[in-house]
Amino acid sequence: MSPRDFVEKAYGQADPRLARYVEQVFAPEDEVLAEIRERSIAAGLPAIQMGVFDLLQVEVLVRAASARKAVEIGTLGGYSGVGILRGLTPDGFLDTCEYDPKHAAVATETFQRHGFAARTQVHVGPALENLPAISVGGPFDVVFIDADKANYPNYLAWAEDNLRIGGMVLADNAFAWGQVLNAIGAPDATPNADAASGKAIHAMNVRLASGGRFRATMLPTAEGLAMGIKIR
C-alpha cells in the first residue's frame, strides 16, 4: 500500500461536497426533531443539542444493538433522548439525567408531545447523585454521555459497572472542541480557558481505549463521538 492510499483513507471526511451529498440523501433531521430543536431554543435553552448526523448515528447504533434499556446523562430539551428512544425496542425504556429543572421541563414536554412519556423517566439534579438509584434497573444496554465534561471519567466508570457485557457506551464531544490536544501538550494546540474539560475528556478517552473494560473506537464526527463495547 502506497502513502497515497493512506492519505485517501484518512480519518474523517472533510469534503464539503460529500457532506452536502450525505445530507441530501440521508436527511438526518425530520419535522419532529426540528420542532424539538426550535422549541428548546425558543424556551431559552442553549443551542448545544447534538448535531443532526451525530444523533442519526446514535439512533442507528442503538437499533443495531437491539437495545431495550438505556441511560442518558445530559437531557437538555429531549432532542437526543428522542433519537435514543427511536432506536430502542418497542418495549424499551430510557432513564435520562438533567441537572437544570428548566431544561428538564422542556424535555418532559418533548417526551409527552411525541409519544414517549410512558417510556421515559427524567431524573432532575446532579447525575452523580441520581445514578445510584438508576443502577437498580440495570444492567443496561446503552449509556449515552453528553453532560458536564469534568465528570466524563466518573460517568464512564458508572457505565463500566452498569452496562451488560456487550453493552455500548457513547460519549459526545469527545474531542472537547480541540482541548484534548492541550491535555497531551500538543505543540499545535489552541489555548483555551476551559482546559479542565480537555483534561477530563482526554482521561475518559484513555480509559475507554485502554482500560481493559471496552473495545472502543472514535467515530469521525466533527465533535468526536467515542464508542465502546463492554467486553469484561
* Amino acid at position 229, single letter: I
Q: pLDDT tens, 186-212? A: 877 776 667 888 999 999 999 999 999
* Amino acid at position 196, single letter: A
pLDDT of residue 26: 94
Residue 134 lies inside a defined structural domain of this protein: yes
Residue 142 sits in a domain whose CATH number is 3.40.50.150
Residue 102 lies inside a defined structural domain of this protein: yes
The parent domain of residue 72 ranges over 10-230
Grid cell locating 67: 437495545
Residue 145 lies inside a defined structural domain of this protein: yes
The helix/strand/coil state of 216 is strand
SS (H, E, C) 80-124: HHHHHHHHCCCCCEEEEEECCHHHHHHHHHHHHHCCCHHHEEEEE
Residue 3 lies inside a defined structural domain of this protein: no
- pLDDT over 90 percentage in the chain: 82
HSE toward the beta carbon, residue 34, CA cutoff 13 A:
5
pLDDT of residue 37: 96
Residue 75 lies inside a defined structural domain of this protein: yes
Grid cell locating 206: 484513555
Q: How many domains does the chain have?
A: 1
Asked whether the whole model's pTM tops 0.75, one would answer yes
CB under 8 A, 24+ apart: contacts of 58-62? 58/83, 58/84, 58/87, 58/144, 58/170, 58/225, 59/83, 59/84, 59/86, 59/87, 60/87, 61/87, 61/168, 61/170, 61/227, 62/86, 62/87, 62/88, 62/142, 62/168
Grid cell locating 83: 433519537
Going by C-alpha positions, the residue among 112, 113, 170 that lies closest to residue 140 is 170
Q: Is the pLDDT of residue 14 over 90?
A: no
Q: pLDDT tens, 119-146? A: 999 999 999 999 999 999 999 999 999 9
Residue 179 lies inside a defined structural domain of this protein: yes
Rounded average pLDDT over 95-118: 98
Residue 187 lies inside a defined structural domain of this protein: yes
Q: Is the pLDDT of residue 3 over 60?
A: no
Residue 5 lies inside a defined structural domain of this protein: no
Distance (Å, rounded) from C-alpha 100 to C-alpha 126?
Answer: 9
Q: pLDDT tens, 46-59? A: 999 999 999 999 99
- pLDDT-derived band at 19, boundaries 50, 70, 90: confident
pLDDT of residue 11: 77
